[in-house]
Chains A and B, each alone.
Chain A
Amino acid sequence: MLKHNLLPMLELFDVKKSFDQPDGTELHILDIPEFEVGAGEQVVLVGRSGCGKTTLLHVIAGISRPTSGRVKIDGWDVTLMEEAEVDQFRAERIGYVFQTFNLLPSFTAFENVLLGMTFGRVKVEKDRARHLLRRVGLEHRLTHKPPMLSVGEQQRVAVARALANRPQLILADEPTANVDMGNQQQVIDLIRETCREENVALILVTHAPEVAEQFERVEYLEKINRAWASR
């Protein structure tokens, strides 16, 4: 529910996701009647383990298809798209920051950022990759591979990669879960500041109250997800 006068960047309508279980029954993970995020808005989604946070981000990113319902991003209904179209859409409009960073170990920090803009139809901008790594304070680590970087540095590379394709929406899945306390706040600040600078909408998932309390808009997945409530 938009609290400001923003154009909707993300709209979910009656989104349901369930999985078949070995005993033949269905496990309902998501049942979200309505959810919206405005352009450039920053939302934190709070929820306990197993409440469907990652599944929801996968559904929004088009990595998983919802069992039913509609997902619209910037007015485009991704649930109506073919799989290859969704992939293209994700490559050009969505950035993803993973809990485990998910950098490719054989690529340098610079190449990992370039990967973020490789699969869309837009031109690969090496200058932008350098700019982003400079922005996250890693201009001296361009040629270093992930195993040579600290945990905090790896997550900063992941943030730069998520912004590489000039996305309209960034999905951050517990980005501080594997980062030590000292680096936690830096990573959160970095994600929020860079999203603000680039006017990118942000959905950040966390179960940490100290992270959630920094956001103006906090949504509790247990409340918006009817599937969790019914379990």
Chain B
Amino acid sequence: MSLWKIAWRSIQQRAFSSALTAFSMALGVALVVAVLVIYGVIDQSFRRSAQGYDLIVGAKGSALELVLSTVYHLGRPAETIPYTVCDRLNKESKYTPVVDIAVPVCLGDNYKGFRVIGTTTAMFDRLKWFDGDKLKNYEWDEGGNFAADEPFQAVVGAVVARKAGLNVGKSFPPQHGIAAERGKEHSEFQVVGVLKPTGTATDRAIYVNIEGFYQLHAEPKKEVTAILVSLSTDDPAVQKGLPTIISRDPNLNVQAVNPTDQVTRLLEGIVGNLQRILLILAVLIVIVAGIGVMVSIYNSMSDRRHEIAIIRALGAKRRTVMAIVLLESILLALGGGAIGLALGHGLTGAMSGVIEEQTGVAVSALQFQLSELILVPGLILLASAVGFMPAVVAYRTDVAQSLIASP
């Protein structure tokens, strides 16, 4: 009979207290898992959304705000810049050797809370999106891209199609402002395409022909909120140097930022610190649960001296009974950990709707993070540490005395 089975039988004998101990461990592990999964998904999604183009050009000011509003549709749109900047980036010989395409983006309207973005056909014909592994062309679930000469055509992201019921052929009137229930309604745009899900902020946006966008607002001069720039070169010197050149160009009077740099700063700074604090708290809970395992096993030792003595009398060595107690601790921790893993992912799955609603990030209960693998050696280490003291009690059990004592 294996020592695992002997340890398991011992757990079964104290089923209720073992279950409570494992459950407290499960709660701690569930929290760790939830923090890891949610942060991992947010991190992945943020980084994914920030790729597919190399630079964002916008009005001077906060680079982070520019990235957040342009890429993630978070916060208020930055100040506008002239449309001519986009033309210059696409046509001036100073930039054309390295700029593949510059795509204008206009913000300011919404439909049922989803941002309405004015842009050109190049947004989906020339730019790509990052699936976490490689850059891919946009694909259509239904219909296709809007036509350059049809100002009131629109395409929608997968989440918008599902939640706002905007399928091909449907029309909708954008409202002025970036949040739902605000501003006056404009003329209607017709949906001609629904994008396949990308797991990026694109899923939660409506893209309309920029010409229609300008006609709605009847602005005297053409302005854009930002310009997405895709470079034709991977040369790191260009990637690093071009934002400075654009930002210092007196003819443009704009700033150019690398979205990936900004997202990395955001994730490793504010979001990363928050995650670390949450993770430390969750790990502390696991450690407290581990101490619970120790208390539970330690308290049971006085009742179990007789049993240990019987096992020793049957020929088990001191180190064997010590191993049995350690295995018991490991089984409780791993059992609790497995329940916690299921709970954590269940919790993530249950929260997926809220997360997607708030951030546009699609989270699934079955999304596992590589960092969760650390839980297995971590729990074994913790269980070995907390099981050590009761194991020493088992090791020191006086067989002759304990056999004589009543069971």
List residues of A whose CB falls within 8 A of some B CB: 54-55, 58, 61, 63-64, 83-84, 87-88, 90-92, 94, 96, 98, 100, 102, 104-107, 111, 114-116, 118-120, 124, 161, 165
Contacts and interface: CB of A to CB of B under 8 A. Distances in A.
A132 B51 CA distance: 72
B315 A111 contact: no
Contacts of A116: 314
Question: Which 8 pairs between the two chains have the least Cβ-Cβ distance?
Answer: A91-B315, A106-B13, A119-B315, A106-B9, A87-B317, A119-B316, A90-B315, A64-B400
Contacts of B318: 83-84, 87
B188 interface: no
Given A54-B404, A106-B9, A115 B1 contact: yes
Given A84-B317, A106-B13, A107-B9, A115 B311 contact: yes
Nearest to B310: A102
A187 B67 CA distance: 86
Contacts of B310: 98, 102, 104
Contact of B315 (A102, A106, A120): A120
| Interface residue SS majority, chain B | helix
A119 B317 CA distance: 8
Chain B interface residue bracket vs A: 20 to 34
Interface in B383-407: 399-400, 403-404, 406-407
Interface string B313-353: 11111111000000000000000000000000000000000
Contact of A104 (B9, B319, B399): B9
B1 A102 contact: no
* Most A C-beta atoms less than 10 A away, residue of B12, B320, B406: B320
A184 to B, nearest CB: 21
Contacts of B403: 58, 63, 98, 102
B316 to A, nearest CB: 5
B211 interface: no
B400 A63 contact: yes
Interface of B: 1, 5-6, 9-10, 12-13, 306-307, 310-320, 399-400, 403-404, 406-407
B395 to A, nearest CB: 11
A15 to B, nearest CB: 15
Nearest to A162: B314
Contacts of B9: 104, 106-107, 111
Given A106-B10, A115-B1, A58 B400 contact: yes
Contacts of A83: 317-318
Contacts of B307: 104
B404 to A, nearest CB: 7
A58 B406 CA distance: 17
A63 B314 contact: no
Given A54-B404, A100-B407, A105-B13, A111 B316 contact: no
A111 B400 CA distance: 23
B294 to A, nearest CB: 21
A114 B1 CA distance: 6
Contacts of B316: 87, 91, 118-119
Given A83-B318, A90-B315, A102-B407, 7 more contacts: A55-B400, A63-B400, A87-B317, A92-B315, A104-B9, A106-B12, A165-B315
A61 B1 contact: no
Nearest to A90: B315
* Most B C-beta atoms less than 10 A away, residue of A61, A88, A105, A118: A118
A88 B13 contact: no
11 contacts: A63-B400, A64-B399, A64-B400, A84-B319, A87-B312, A87-B315, A90-B313, A96-B313, A102-B313, A111-B1, A118-B314
A165 B315 CA distance: 10
* Most B C-beta atoms less than 10 A away, residue of A58, A120, A124, A161: A58
B381 to A, nearest CB: 27
B407 A118 contact: no
Contacts of B317: 83-84, 87-88, 119
B1 A63 contact: no
A213 B12 CA distance: 44
B400 A91 contact: no
A228 B318 CA distance: 32
A149 to B, nearest CB: 15
A88 to B, nearest CB: 7
A91 B313 CA distance: 8
Contacts of B400: 55, 58, 63-64
A165 B319 CA distance: 20
A119 B313 contact: no
Contacts of B319: 84
Nearest to B9: A106
Contacts of B406: 100
A17 B327 CA distance: 36
Contacts of A107: 9
A102 B310 CA distance: 7
A50 to B, nearest CB: 12
B289 to A, nearest CB: 24
A120 B316 CA distance: 8
